[in-house]
Amino acid sequence: DQQVKQNSPSLSVQEGRISILNCDYTNSMFDYFLWYKKYPAEGPTFLISISSIKDKNEDGRFTVFLNKSAKHLSLHIVPSQPGDSAVYFCAASEGDKIIFGKGTRLHILP
Amino acid sequence: NAGVTQTPKFQVLKTGQSMTLQCAQDMNHNSMYWYRQDPGMGLRLIYYSASEGTTDKGEVPNGYNVSRLNKREFSLRLESAAPSQTSVYFCASSELPPRGNSPLHFGNGTRLTVT
């Protein structure tokens, strides 16, 4: 039973526009939510996180929004750049464990 | 600063063979993790060690064993490899249990093929 769901396997966005990646979760006990970025042949790298008691966190071009009532979070990247082309994983933590979604492949088009 | 180092980078095994995947971190982190990544399945947690001397099962522990050798090292053992264990394996560490501002730091993975 998947607790963290990324329902879009891929997304294409024009360079300079906004990229919006979505994530849904089922476990109301998750206390932090995180986004990781992964390039081919490398390990994932941490991007940004948000506590379950907040609804927004911003870091440069990256903003994460959390809607607890809908059990939904999203990552906004503005403006999108070619180096943003990667697989993005949504993750959620409960205690000592982090559970990941299946990932969304983002293609930034020239 | 090496971060999280995994060895080997690539391995091919025959069904029934055993092997140990090695992981070491030099960041003095307390918690260490093993994940596997399969196409269309994302990252799935196999085992984790919240602190030296403790290990716990994750989402997909069957067919694996782990050893937290010391604070730096956390190994993953396949006793009798099966084709279903063909995957990319990632080791990760974090300073604290990964809540918020203690994110996971990943190694670059071990690509394992079982024939």
Render pLDDT for B92-115 as a digit per residue (tens, 0 to 9). 999 876 555 678 999 999 999 999
Whether B74 has its CB under 8 Å from any CB of chain A: the answer is no
CB contact under 8 A, B97 and A95: yes
* Predicted local distance difference test score (pLDDT) of residue B101: 62
Percent of chain B exceeding pLDDT 90 equals: 80
Work out whether strand A72-77 and strand A19-25 pair parallel, antiparallel, or are unpaired.
antiparallel
CB contact under 8 A, A97 and B107: no
The answer to whether the CB of B85 falls within 8 A of the CB of B11 is no
Whether residue A55 has pLDDT greater than 70:
yes
The answer to whether the CB of A4 falls within 8 A of the CB of A91 is yes
Percent of chain A exceeding pLDDT 70 equals: 99
Q: What average pLDDT does range B78-95 have in this prediction? A: 95
* Predicted local distance difference test score (pLDDT) of residue A94: 83
Whether residue A43 has pLDDT greater than 70:
yes
Nearest C-alpha in B relative to A32: B100
Contacting residues for A55 by C-beta, under 8 A, at least 6 apart: A65, A66, A67, A68
Whether B102 has its CB under 8 Å from any CB of chain A: the answer is no
CB contact under 8 A, B42 and A32: no
Which chain A positions have a beta carbon within 8 Å of B92's beta carbon?
Answer: 43
Using a 10 angstrom Cβ sphere, with 0-12 exposed, 13-18 middle and 19 or more buried, the burial of residue B30 is: middle
Q: What average pLDDT does range B57-80 have in this prediction? A: 95
